[in-house]
Amino acid sequence: MTRTIAIETLTPGGFAAYGDVIEAVGDPDMIINQAMCERYHDRALIDLDNDGGRAGISVFKATVRAVPHLLDMMERHPLGSQTFVPMAADPFLVIVASDLNGRPHEPKAFLTKPGQGVNYHRGIWHGVLTPLHEPGLFTVIDRIGPGNNLEEHWFDEIYEVR
């Protein structure tokens, strides 16, 4: 049996239970560089464990997917938050879920707008990176360090995200 997830528009309110939307919306917090630049300050929480991990900057290049998208697996990172900044002005799919008894529960799917990145809070279930446009390029800020920071859950019944 296939279950369906309806794609929603990504908004900070709708996403708050899962993480941060990184975007320049509302009034800037500071005006800098002789009034030539708006700073939207401190918009995502870098949250790492303290046992030898540090924040690192990497680049992910992911295979482009299509909608409808079949969701068969979600993952989470118990030791740290994970930020995805798209390096092109293309929407991408963001899939998250709450946790129930150690498993992803009631997944939700969001479509970003150009100029939006996301930060998954530590331990939040999420789908793998699913760009919809080439070249599928993202800068990622996540924990680098020792320990097992990846947990996967494979669904018995897949979801169709559309």
In angstroms, rounded to a whole number, what is the distance separating the alpha carbons of residues 88 and 94?
A: 16
From 1-9, 10-18, 26-34, 95-103, give the range in contact with a second copy by CB under 8 A: 26-34
Least Å distance, CB 135 to a second copy, is: 7
Burial class (CB in 10 A: 0-12, 13-18, 19+), 63: exposed
Within 8 A by CB and 6+ apart from 100, the residues are: none
Taking CB under 8 A as the rule, does residue 78 contact a second copy?
Answer: no
Taking CB under 8 A as the rule, does residue 135 contact a second copy?
Answer: yes
Element (H, E) at 120: strand 117-120
Q: Which residues of 124-160 are buried (b: 16+ CB within 10 A; e: fewer)?
A: bbbbebbbbeeebbbeebbbebeeebeeeeeeeeebe
Subset of 88-127 contacting a second copy (CB under 8 A): 88-89, 114-115, 117, 119
Question: By C-beta, is 16 or 100 nearer to a second copy?
Answer: 16
Site map for a second copy, 45-64, x if CB under 8 A? Answer: -x-------xxxxxxxxxx-
Residues that bind a second copy (CB under 8 A): 22-24, 28, 32-34, 36-44, 46, 54-63, 73, 83, 85-89, 114-115, 117, 119, 128-129, 135, 137, 139-141, 144
